[in-house]
C-alpha cells in the first residue's frame, strides 16, 4: 500500500479576519462561526486563487492539484486550528461613501464580525495515490501557493485578513522556486 503524503502549514495573523457564515444574526449583517472561523474550504479557495494568479495562463496543473469540474481533487484540506485559541469575536462597521459628496451613502452601513488569533495550523492530506513525479509537483504547488498567500477572508484587500503562511514540511529554496516557475511554461 502506498503511504499518503501530508503537508503542514502555520498561519501567522497580522490583522483580524472574517470568513462569513453567510447568515445575518441580530445586530449583525455578517457573522463568523466562532468555533470554526477558518474552514478548510476557505483555505483551499485562497490557495487555489494564489496558484492561479502565479501560474496563469498555465492552469492545467492548478486543476490537477486543486480539482475542477472534470478532475477530482487528490488532496483534503483541514480547518485551521489556533495554537492558543481564537480571539473573541468583535463587531466592525463598514460604510460605503459617496465619491461625489464624501458622505455615507443611504442604507450602506454594514455591521459585521471579525476574529483573529496569534497563530494557527492546518494540514493538507493526500486522498488518492499519485506517482512520485506528480506528488512532488503537487507538494511544490501547494507549498508555494500557501506561502504566497498574503490575505484571506472577506475584505482582504481592505485591511482585513493579512497573514503569513509557512509550509513547515516543504523546503522552498531557490531551486524549488525555479521548478515552480518552470510550471508556467510546461
Cis ω on the peptide bond leading into residue 57 (within 30° of 0)?
yes
User: Is the model's pTM score more than 0.85?
Assistant: yes
CA 130 from chain center: how many Å? 24
What does the domain layout of the chain look like in residue ranges? Answer: 6-182
Residue 42 grid cell? 476557505
Domain 6-182, architecture per CATH = 2-Layer Sandwich (3.30)
Cβ of 5: how many Cβ atoms within 10 Å?
18
> Is 37 within 8 Å of 148 (Cβ atoms)?
no
pLDDT in tens, the chain (186 residues): 467 899 999 999 999 998 988 777 787 777 889 899 999 999 999 999 999 999 988 789 999 999 999 999 999 999 999 999 999 988 888 777 888 888 878 877 778 888 999 999 999 999 999 999 999 999 999 999 999 999 998 876 667 899 999 999 999 999 999 999 999 876
Amino acid at each position: 500500500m502506498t503511504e499518503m503524503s501530508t503537508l503542514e502549514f502555520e498561519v501567522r495573523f497580522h490583522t483580524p479576519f472574517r470568513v462569513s457564515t453567510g447568515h445575518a444574526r441580530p445586530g449583525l449583517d455578517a457573522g463568523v462561526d466562532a468555533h470554526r472561523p477558518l474552514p478548510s474550504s476557505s483555505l483551499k479557495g485562497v490557495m487555489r486563487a494564489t496558484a492561479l494568479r502565479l501560474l496563469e495562463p498555465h492552469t492545467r496543473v492548478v486543476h490537477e492539484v486543486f480539482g475542477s469540474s472534470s478532475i477530482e481533487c487528490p488532496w483534503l484540506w483541514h480547518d485551521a486550528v489556533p495554537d492558543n485559541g481564537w480571539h473573541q469575536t468583535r463587531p466592525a462597521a463598514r460604510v460605503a461613501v459617496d465619491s461625489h459628496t464624501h458622505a455615507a451613502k443611504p442604507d450602506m452601513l454594514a455591521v459585521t464580525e471579525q476574529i483573529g488569533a496569534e497563530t494557527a495550523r492546518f494540514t493538507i492530506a493526500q486522498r488518492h495515490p499519485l506517482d512520485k513525479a506528480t506528488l512532488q509537483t503537487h507538494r511544490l504547488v501547494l507549498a508555494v501557493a500557501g506561502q504566497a498567500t498574503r490575505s484571506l477572508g472577506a475584505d482582504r484587500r481592505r485591511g482585513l485578513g493579512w497573514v503569513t503562511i509557512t509550509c513547515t514540511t516543504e523546503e522552498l529554496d531557490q531551486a524549488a522556486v525555479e521548478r515552480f516557475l518552470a510550471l508556467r511554461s510546461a
